[in-house]
């Protein structure tokens, strides 16, 4: 097993996840099997209860694991299917160590950070790194390890020590480290001193970076590169220039041009690994498709205005997977995505009184958008604005996509406006729990008094209902498929008691769970695209294989849905899959000529 550690210094949030994912992608283009692990030094067991405005989105895996959003980057770039064990937190490690101590596994010894906590970390990494994550079913050749935060943080000390032990116990050619640093621009001059100090801190902790990836706003000057190489004691080619790019999908190409593959091959002796010819050809095809898809993005001219009506806009990563899914779909449709983020509260009448300018600006964006998306969320704040956006989309025939909460609120709006269901019945039990008679009700079996890990989570099937061959969404998945598999994360659902009333007025529930009780997908027949899904399709969207609901939404907004559907039908007839994925691997598509 080969390990590539990606760590960070100076400041957090400089792009370690993208660089780690890009390095993994380049290894895959060689035909290697690649896995990844994210280390988060916080004491939380997982990311499930974290505020998205502080920590960004919670990413959900097939097994229901609620994990750090960087695992989404790994899955999107590498086309792998990870598990909750691929996200290591300090909380998980301490829980495991304390449980072992209570069982008596340590035979009366004094339990200490070294060697017991660090040993548990090292064992976890070695065990998870060997788990197959792709359709080969074989042990990976290389594992990318990203250490969250910055080296020197008190929270990560145990992990740094464990990684030092891992490096010591590995063979000389089995472990390498890429340290990501930030080179600030001060009065027009690139300052290298923070990077020098960061490398000194890393070395004092016991780690020795092989490569230094320098994040910067513009290309590093030759003098800055040479200075970093001299004072950090590495060769000049080992200083990687990771400047800001028009798209993060172009970062692998940037690193490829700086010979990252050759540097990793030399350091880890990857040329000694036996790679089947079929895997080499597959890697070459992946790289060719990736470059074709990403290189011309800045030259796209057909702009597409999409409005996202959300409630966690303070943190740009709150809707990261949603945004990435829109980007994947826009790239496939060869459109330049112009995403307009609208605070849902700005669409509500009270804002017209308190801040008329924001109210009218928000409604202008909604009323002129090519498509409207309402993502998931929790709580009553802003939901009346989301309902108003759904009503506008339905009545104006503007393409609409509702995800989880967005689907539920589209049902609420239809119940109010078309079925004349009165308030408070036409709302969600989440917002008004005074009675069980609500259009949206809770699923009490999924949260018996605890919040963490108690929602309906993970990969679950959705069965297409009879006489739904007319569905635009079903056509994208493939009419020959009786069911699809998508990832879920929710506590509330549509009340079965209102289904007949809603369907009699034209809101069709085209997809349900295997019991036929839980409603998974809604669609309006006489509408360019009005779709709501209870699941989160963004968690299965890939760069080379966009999520079907997002692809249909973008294509309908660009008025090319028929062409995209026809293209997908040709691929499906040649062995495509219901959800575009088989064991984490996407089919490779040719770009449509539109």
- What DSSP line would sit under 339-380, residue for residue? EEEEEGGGGSHHHHHH-HHHHHHHHHHHHH-SEEEE----SS
DSSP 3-state assignment of 512? strand
- Taking the C-alpha atoms of residue 6 and residue 176, their distance in angstroms, rounded to an integer, is 9
CA angle 433, 437, 442 (to 5 degrees): 55
- What DSSP line would sit under 44-58, residue for residue? SSSSTTS-HHHH-PP
- Taking the C-alpha atoms of residue 411 and residue 405, their distance in angstroms, rounded to an integer, is 10
Residue 538 is among the residues annotated as catalytic for this protein:
yes
Task: Say which of 404, 488, 490, 523 is annotated catalytic.
Answer: 404
Residue 365 is encoded by which pair of tokens?
A: 């964006």
Residue 377: closest CA among 52, 83, 106, 100: 52
Answer whether 218's CB lies under 8 Å from 244's CB: yes
Residue 536 is among the residues annotated as catalytic for this protein:
yes
- Taking the C-alpha atoms of residue 320 and residue 574, their distance in angstroms, rounded to an integer, is 32
Task: Return the exposure string of 76-94: e unless at least 16 CB atoms fall within 10 Å of the residue's CB, then b.
Answer: bbbbbbbbbbbbbbbebbb
Task: Say which of 55, 116, 328, 536 is annotated catalytic.
Answer: 536
- Taking the C-alpha atoms of residue 560 and residue 590, their distance in angstroms, rounded to an integer, is 16
Residue 173: closest CA among 30, 34, 269, 275: 269
- Taking the C-alpha atoms of residue 133 and residue 277, their distance in angstroms, rounded to an integer, is 20
Edge to edge, the sheet with strand 175-182 lists 87-89, 34-40, 142-147, 2-8, 175-182, 211-216, 239-243
| Contacting residues for 335 by C-beta, under 8 A, at least 6 apart | 300, 302, 303, 304, 554, 558
β-strand partners of 341? 308
Strands (DSSP E) found in 119-272: 142-147, 175-182, 185-186, 189-190, 211-216, 239-243
Residue 237: closest CA among 200, 215, 212, 219: 212
Residue 346 is among the residues annotated as catalytic for this protein:
no
Q: Count Cβ atoms below 10 Å from residue 112 Cβ, excluding itself.
A: 11
- The span from the first CA to the last CA of the chain, in angstroms, equals 44
β-strand partners of 7? 179
Which positions are catalytic?
Answer: 404, 536, 538
């Amino acid at each position: 097993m080969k390990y590539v550690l990606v760590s960070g210094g100076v400041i957090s949030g400089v792009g370690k996840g993208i660089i780690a994912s890009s390095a993994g992608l380049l290894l895959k283009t060689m035909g290697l099997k690649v896995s990844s692990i994210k280390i988060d030094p916080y004491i939380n067991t997982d990311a499930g209860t974290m505020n998205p405005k502080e920590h960004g989105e919670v990413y959900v895996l097939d097994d229901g694991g609620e994990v750090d959003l960087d695992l989404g980057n790994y899955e999107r770039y590498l086309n792998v299917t990870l598990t909750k064990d691929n996200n290591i937190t300090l909380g998980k490690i301490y829980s495991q160590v304390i449980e072992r101590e209570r069982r008596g596994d340590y035979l009366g010894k004094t339990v200490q950070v070294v060697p017991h906590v660090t040993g548990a970390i090292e064992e976890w990494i070695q065990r998870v790194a060997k788990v197959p994550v792709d359709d080969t079913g074989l042990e990976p050749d290389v594992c990318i390890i990203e250490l969250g935060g910055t080296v020197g943080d008190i929270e990560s000390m145990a992990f740094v020590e464990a990684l030092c032990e891992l490096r010591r116990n590995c063979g000389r050619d089995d472990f390498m480290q890429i340290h990501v640093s930030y080179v600030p621009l001060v009065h027009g001059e690139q300052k290298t001193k923070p990077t020098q100090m960061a490398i000194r801190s890393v070395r004092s902790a016991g780690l020795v970076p092989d490569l230094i990836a320098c994040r910067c706003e513009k290309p590093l000057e030759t003098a800055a590169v040479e200075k970093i190489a001299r004072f950090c004691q590495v060769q000049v080619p080992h200083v990687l220039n990771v400047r800001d790019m028009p798209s993060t999908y172009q970062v692998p190409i940037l690193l490829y041009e700086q010979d990252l593959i050759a540097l990793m091959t030399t350091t880890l002796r990857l040329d000694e690994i036996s790679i089947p010819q079929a895997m080499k050809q597959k890697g070459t095809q992946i790289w060719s498709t990736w470059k074709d898809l990403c290189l011309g993005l800045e030259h796209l001219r057909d702009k597409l205005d999409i409005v996202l009506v959300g409630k966690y806009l303070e943190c740009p990563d709150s809707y990261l997977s949603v945004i990435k899914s829109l980007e994947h779909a826009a790239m496939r449709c060869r459109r330049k995505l112009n995403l307009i983020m609208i605070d849902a509260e700005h669409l509500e009448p009270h804002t017209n009184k308190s801040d008329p300018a924001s109210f009218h600006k928000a409604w202008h964006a909604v009323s002129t958008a090519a498509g409207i998306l309402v993502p998931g969320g929790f709580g009553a704040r802003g939901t009346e604005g989301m309902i108003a956006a759904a009503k506008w989309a339905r009545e104006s025939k503007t393409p609409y996509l509702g995800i989880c909460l967005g689907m539920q609120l589209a049902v609420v709006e239809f119940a109010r406006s078309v079925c004349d269901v009165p308030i408070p019945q036409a709302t969600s039990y989440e917002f008004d729990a005074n009675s069980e008679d609500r259009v949206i009700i809770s699923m009490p079996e999924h949260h018996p008094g605890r919040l963490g890990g108690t929602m309906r989570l993970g990969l679950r099937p959705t069965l297409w209902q009879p006489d739904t061959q007319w569905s635009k969404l079903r056509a994208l998945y493939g009419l020959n498929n009786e069911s699809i598999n998508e990832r879920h994360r929710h506590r509330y659902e549509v009340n079965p008691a209102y289904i007949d009333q809603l369907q009699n007025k034209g809101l069709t529930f085209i997809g349900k769970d295997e019991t036929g009780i839980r409603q998974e997908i809604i669609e309006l027949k006489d509408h360019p695209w009005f779709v709501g899904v209870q699941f989160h399709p963004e968690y299965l969207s890939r760069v080379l294989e966009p999520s079907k609901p997002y692809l249909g939404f973008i294509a309908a907004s660009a008025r090319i849905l028929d062409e995209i559907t026809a293209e997908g039908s040709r691929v499906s007839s040649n062995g495509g899959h219901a959800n575009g994925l088989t064991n984490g691997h996407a089919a490779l598509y040719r770009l449509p000529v539109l």
